[in-house]
Amino acid sequence: MASIISILFFLASFLLAPLPLQSADSDPLQDFCVGLINAPESVNGFPCKPVSEVTADDFSSRVIAHEGNTNNAFRSNVTGANAMAFPGLNTLGVSMNRIDLAPGGLNPPHSHPRATQLDIVIEGTVMIGFVTTGNVFYSKVLRKGELFVVPRGLVHFEKNIGKGKALIFAAFNGQMPGTVSIAPTLFGAKPSIPDAILSTAFQVETGVVDEIKSKFSS
């Protein structure tokens, strides 16, 4: 695991930025607003838990303390510590993901429409890359303690190219960054996107589209 110093540097560099850059969310109007996750209605966040009921436990979480299960087709697992999983983050404009990658594991191309992402490699050797709106691809091979920033909304991926496990922590300047996974979004949408749309977009036969859709049917 990375040293305490490198983790503190990572958090400080991202979370202690000048206020205009600190958060993609609206500025809070109170010190905190621990979210009531099961409230029937919410607008850009969750209603606040009564202050009289707030405890120190509301500001602490172990949601990303443990390794995720990478026994899947992508050999990867993403665990989110956003306002839904960690209600103490509600209205504070920050969140974090834990990305576990088995050898050869891939966090497939996706985007976060509501936040910029800052990755720090805790363990292993990974390739991280993104594509701009001008269709330019930027990528970098990173090792323990190194950082990589992904601008808000751009399609990107993380790939373990080392011989052992890899671990990345990703910080966001938004409490709910959102995730649009490219392949499942296009080929696993409910209701389904018409085959003719996808076959024309990807310049393939409809049979190819149906085959890909079958992999995301569940």
22, pLDDT greater than 70: no
Handedness of CA 147, 79, 85, 153 (dihedral sign): positive
- Which residue ranges make up the annotated binding site? 97, 107, 110, 112, 156
Choose among 75, 41, 35: nearest CA to 54. 35
Relative to beta strand 166-172, strand 137-142 is unpaired
CA 19 remoteness from chain centre:
22
Task: Calculate what percentage of the chain has a pLDDT beyond 90.
Answer: 78
Mean pLDDT of the chain: 90
Tens-place pLDDT, residues 29-56: 788 889 988 877 666 788 999 999 999 9
- Which residue ranges make up the annotated binding site for Mn(2+)? 110, 112, 156
Task: Calculate what percentage of the chain has a pLDDT beyond 70.
Answer: 87
User: Looking at residue 19, what is its pLDDT?
Assistant: 46
Task: Quickly state the pLDDT bin for 155 (edges 50, 70, 90).
Answer: very high
Tens-place pLDDT, residues 99-110: 999 999 999 999
- Which residue ranges make up the annotated binding site for oxalate? 97, 107, 112
User: Looking at residue 17, what is its pLDDT?
Assistant: 56
User: Looking at residue 158, what is its pLDDT?
Assistant: 98
| Runs of H (alpha helix) within the chain | 4-15, 19-22, 182-187, 195-202, 206-215
Q: Identify whether the C-beta of residue 122 lies closer than 8 Å to the C-beta of residue 106.
A: no
